[in-house]
């Protein structure tokens, strides 16, 4: 068997399979990466996007966040064949969950598309089939009352001069993402770790596997006896724990993997 056939067989026979995805799966959709060649942090100072600055200087934080939001999500983008293949695999019962480091919402878009508009509720409490470990940049959350809502109208208000934009309760809205200096949502990372420990097969896809705590998930899966696959164009610190390493384009590999599962 070649590498993909090995992964397909492991997934087919597994009771539980989970995946972790990173920026490499969304880059083909036109979402810039944060690091690497022409990464976003080459153009912006990541030190301006900390939770501490949001609390102490919300007006300045939001002014800079508008520019970052435009750089990240200002163009047209949609799920690619990699997102769609994973969404179809989850729908068909091959995947227990998709854990993602990305904040672009494309996994949820793909899930809605393959289910003809039906998908589970937002996973802010660690529920659902898509776990957004670092939040979702298309939402905002009130720092006081906790209310979440779609981000576009709030970003539009900020662009029109309402800096910082505020909730009806008077609290300041915050992009619903994990800022530097913030902890990941406890329920979300706890479920991701549980999935890693309980998985019989675990795939890390398009992630450099250097940002913790998500970077440790493949090793947790391996230490529990899972078949671990790493699909990434560049080497990762977890390659030594992987049973299968694939250095190919995720938009081509994942549809092929899905086809093998259906063969």
C-alpha–C-alpha distance, residues 141 and 135, integer Å: 10
C-alpha–C-alpha distance, residues 191 and 185, integer Å: 10
Query: Does the annotation count 83 as an active-site position?
Result: no
Contact of 137 with 175, CB cutoff 8 Å = yes
Count CB neighbours of 42 within 10 A: 11
Full strand arrangement of the beta sheet holding 130-132 = 130-132, 97-100, 17-21, 201-205, 227-231, 244-246
The SS3 call for residue 157 is helix
**What value, to the nearest 5°, has the Cα angle with vertex 262 and ends 79 and 1?**
105
Helical H segments across 57-143, by residue range: 58-73, 81-91, 106-114
256-to-127, 155, 245 alpha-carbon distances in Å: 28, 39, 15
Which of 65, 134, 138, 219 is labelled catalytic?
A: 134
15-to-8, 12, 94, 255, 260 alpha-carbon distances in Å: 13, 8, 9, 21, 18
Could you give the residue numbers annotated as active site? 134
């Amino acid at each position: 068997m070649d590498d993909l056939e090995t992964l397909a067989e492991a997934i087919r026979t597994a009771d539980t399979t989970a995946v972790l995805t990173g920026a490499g799966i969304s880059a083909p959709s036109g979402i810039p990466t944060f690091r690497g060649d022409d990464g976003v942090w080459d153009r912006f100072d990541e030190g301006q996007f900390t939770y501490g600055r949001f609390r102490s200087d919300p007006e300045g934080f939001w002014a800079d966040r508008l520019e970052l939001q435009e750089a990240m999500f200002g163009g047209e983008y949609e799920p690619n064949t990699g997102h769609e293949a994973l969404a179809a695999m989850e729908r068909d019962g091959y995947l227990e969950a998709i854990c993602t480091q990305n904040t672009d919402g494309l996994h949820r878009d793909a899930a809605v598309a393959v289910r003809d508009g039906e998908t589970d509720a937002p996973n802010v409490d660690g529920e659902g089939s898509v776990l957004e470990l670092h939040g979702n940049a298309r939402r905002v959350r009130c720092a006081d009352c906790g209310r979440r809502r779609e981000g576009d109208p709030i970003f539009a208000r900020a662009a029109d001069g309402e800096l910082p934009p505020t909730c009806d309760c008077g609290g300041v809205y915050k992009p619903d993402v994990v800022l530097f200096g913030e902890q990941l949502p406890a329920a979300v990372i706890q479920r991701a770790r549980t999935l890693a420990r309980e998985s019989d097969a675990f795939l890390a896809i398009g992630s450099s596997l250097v940002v913790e705590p998500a970077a440790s998930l493949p090793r947790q899966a391996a230490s529990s006896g899972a078949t671990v696959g790493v699909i990434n164009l560049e080497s990762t610190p977890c390659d030594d724990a992987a049973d299968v390493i694939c250095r190919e384009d995720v938009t081509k590999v994942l549809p092929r993997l899905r086809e093998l599962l259906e063969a």
